[in-house]
Amino acid sequence: MKEDPQENEKSATASILGPGAVPIVLWVNGEARTLLVEPRTTLAEALRGPLGLTGTKIACNQGACSACSVWLDDLVVASCSILAIEVGERRVTTIEGLAAGERLHPVQEAFIAHDAVQCGFCTPGMVMSCAALLAGNPHPGEAEIRTAISGHLCRCGTYPHVIQAMLALAEAEGD
C-alpha cells in the first residue's frame, strides 16, 4: 500500500498544538506563586484557574466591562486583556489581597454598609477601582468617584450606592 503524502502532512499538522505550558512566577497579593500556563493564558484565567483566586470575575473577556479589574503595581488593569506571561515581576493585587486577614478593606466595608452590592458580579472590580482611587486621594468628590467607576458595567445599577459608599468613606477619612 502506497502512502499518501497529503494524508501524512495532515496528520502531522493536526498533532502540532503550539507551545505548551511554560513556568512563570507571579507576585500575587504579596506572595511569589509559581505556575505553569500556556502562553495564551490571560492574567484573569491564571488567577481564577491554577491560583484559585475566583474573586476576579471574567465577564466580557475583552477588557470592556472591568469586572476583572486587579492592580498591577498599584495601577488598575483589566486582567482579561493582559497575558499572564507579560506580567513579569510586577505586583498583582486581587480582591482577595485587599483585606488584612479577616478584616475587610474600608472600601469593602463601605460597599456593605451602603448596599452597593447586588448580584456581586461587578463588585470585586468596582472595589478594586474605588480602593485605588482612595489610595491616591483619600477625599474624592463625586466627579472623581464617577470617573473611577466609569469603565465598570453593572447590570444591577448599583452606581448610586457605590457613589454614596465612597462619599461616606471619604467623609469618614477626613474625621
Got the DSSP string for 101-160?
A: TTBPPHHHHHHHHTT--SS-SSHHHHHHHHHHHHHH-SS--HHHHHHHHTT---TT--HH
pLDDT, tens digit, for every residue of 102-156?
Answer: 999 999 999 999 999 988 899 999 999 999 999 999 999 999 999 999 999 999 9
**Scanning the structure block, which residue is given the C-alpha cell 501524512?**
8
- 26-71, pLDDT tens digit by residue? 999 999 999 999 999 999 999 999 999 999 999 999 999 999 999 9
- Sequence-distant (≥ 6) Cβ neighbours of residue 40 within 8 angstroms: 83
Instruction: Report residue 149: phi and psi, to 5°.
Output: -100, 5
Task: State the amino acid at position 8 in one-letter form.
Answer: N
pTM, entire model: 0.86
Reduce the DSSP state of residue 17 to 3 states and report it. coil
User: Is the distance from CB of 20 to CB of 38 less than 8 angstroms?
Assistant: yes
Tell me: pLDDT of 2 over 90: no
Across-strand partners of 22?
Answer: 37
